[in-house]
Structure 1
Amino acid sequence: MGQRCLCDFIAGTRCRRSNPRQQPRRSGSRIVKPAPEATTQPDRSAGASPAVAGVPRPRPPLWATLVATFFGAGRLKPGPGTWGSVAAVILWALVSWHIPPANRTWATIAVATVVTLIGIPAATRVSRTSGLKDPQFVVIDEVAGQLVALIAVPLGWKTFLAGLILFRVFDILKPPPVRQLEPLPEGFGIVVDDLAAGLYALAIMHLLLHFRLLIG
C-alpha cells in the first residue's frame, strides 16, 4: 500500500506533506542540508559597459567639450571637420590683421602649438567619455592642422581659401604618414595626423607662392 500518513486515517484531517527535496538527507551520522537554490544575477563586475549596467556615461568637463568642439563648431552639419577648419580660418583672419607683419609667423606657430597642447587632452577626455576613437564632433584637430597650413602665409582671401582647400584635401586623402599616425592612442592619434596634413598643405602652399602660381 505504500507509506501513508497517520492523518489519512482521521476523517476531516488534512495531512501536510513536506517536500522531500527540502528535507535534510542523512549521510552516515551527519545530516546533509540541501544546497540553496542558485539565483541568477547579472554579473556587473565582468567589464560590462555602463550602458549595459544601466549606469549613464560620465560627461567630460565643460572646458574639454568647448575646446574639443571648438566652441560648438563641431556640432554643425554636414561635415563638422570642414566647419572646424572654416571657423579657424575666419578667426585667424580677424586676429592676424592686428599682429605686426614681422611677428605673424611666430604668432601663428605659437597659437598652433597652444591649440595642440590644449587640444590633445581635451580630445582625450571627450573620446573616453563618448566611447569613440575619433568622434566627428571633435574638431580641435582640424583647427590645429589648419593653423599649421597658414604659417608664414601672406594675408589675403586667396591665400586663406587656398590654405583651407589644401588642408581639407590632405586631411581627407591622408597620404603617408598621415594615415599611419591615426592609430596613436587617444588624443595624440586624433590631433597629430591633422598636424601632418597641415604640413602637407603648408608645403604645397609655399610652392605655389614661390612660383607665383598663387598671389596673396
Structure 2
Amino acid sequence: MITAARIVATGLFVGYVPVAPATFGSLWAIALVLIVGTSGWMYWALGVILLLLSVVSSGKVAKASGREDPKEVVIDEVVALYLAYAHFPTDWKVLLGGFLLFRAYDIVKPFPARRLESLPGGWGIVADDLVAGGYTWLTLKLLTLLL
C-alpha cells in the first residue's frame, strides 16, 4: 500500500531503483542544497524536518515490511548527506567530493555506525547514516583546510 511514509522514506520512489538505490537517493541531497544552500535558517529548518521525517517514515516502512532496514528506504541517506554539506560552498567539487565520501563511509560504516544500527525503529536506520554524514563533513572540512 502506498502511504505518505512510504513516499517520504523512498525519496519519492527513488528507493525502488533496482540498482544502487541508496546512491540514487543520495542525489536528492545535492538537489536540496542547490535549492536552499548550505547555511541559514531555511537550511537548518529543512534539516530538522528531514531528520524527523526520516526517523518516523523509515521506522513505519520497516515495520510494515517486516525488515530492519529495507533497501528502498533512502531518506536516511538524503538527510545525512544534506547535513554533511553544512556551511560548505555549493560548487561542483564540494558536491561531488561530499557525495563520493558519503557513499564510501555509508558502505564501510566506520565506528560507531554499525553499532547504532541496533537502535530501535527508525533511529537505527537513520543513525548509521548520520555517522557517515559526520565523517563526510569532517573529511570535507580537513580537505578544505589543507587544499
**TM-score above 0.5, yes or no:** yes
Residue 70 of structure 1: aligned partner = 11
Larger Rg: 1
Does residue 29 of structure 2 align to residue 94 of structure 1? no
Residue 209 of structure 1: aligned partner = 144
Does residue 81 of structure 2 align to residue 146 of structure 1? yes
Runs (4 or more) in structure 1 with deviation over 4 Å come to none
| Correspondent of 2:105 among 138, 148, 170 | 170
What is the one-letter code of the residue matched to 1:208? L
Residue 133 of structure 2: aligned partner = 198
Taking structure 1 as reference, are residues 166 and 108 closer, same or farther at Cα in structure 2, changes over 3 Å only? farther
Q: Do the aligned partners of 1:73 and 1:87 also contact (CA within 8 Å) in 2?
A: no
**Percent of aligned pairs with the same residue?**
39
Does residue 26 of structure 2 align to residue 85 of structure 1? yes
Residue 114 of structure 2: aligned partner = 179
Calculate the TM-score normalised by the size of structure 1: 0.64
Residue 155 of structure 1: aligned partner = 90
Unaligned runs of 5+ in 2: none
Say which structure, 1 or 2, has more relative contact order (CA 8 Å, 6+ apart): 2
Q: Do the aligned partners of 2:9 and 2:57 also contact (CA within 8 Å) in 1?
A: yes
What is the one-letter code of the residue matched to 1:94? I
State the Cα distance separating 1:176 from its structure 2 match.
0.4
Secondary structure at the counterpart of residue 39 of structure 2: helix
Task: Identify, as 1 or 2, the structure richer in helix.
Answer: 2
Secondary structure at the counterpart of residue 34 of structure 2: helix
| Correspondent of 1:127 among 62, 73, 84 | 62
Q: Do the aligned partners of 2:36 and 2:43 also contact (CA within 8 Å) in 1?
A: no
State the Cα distance separating 1:145 from its structure 2 match.
0.7
What is the one-letter code of the residue matched to 2:129? D
Unaligned runs of 5+ in 1: 1-58, 97-102
Q: Within 5 A, what are the aligned runs for 1:24-39?
A: none
State the Cα distance separating 1:106 from its structure 2 match.
4.5
Secondary structure at the counterpart of residue 142 of structure 1: helix
Number of matched pairs: 147
State the Cα distance separating 1:177 from its structure 2 match.
0.4
What is the one-letter code of the residue matched to 1:149? A
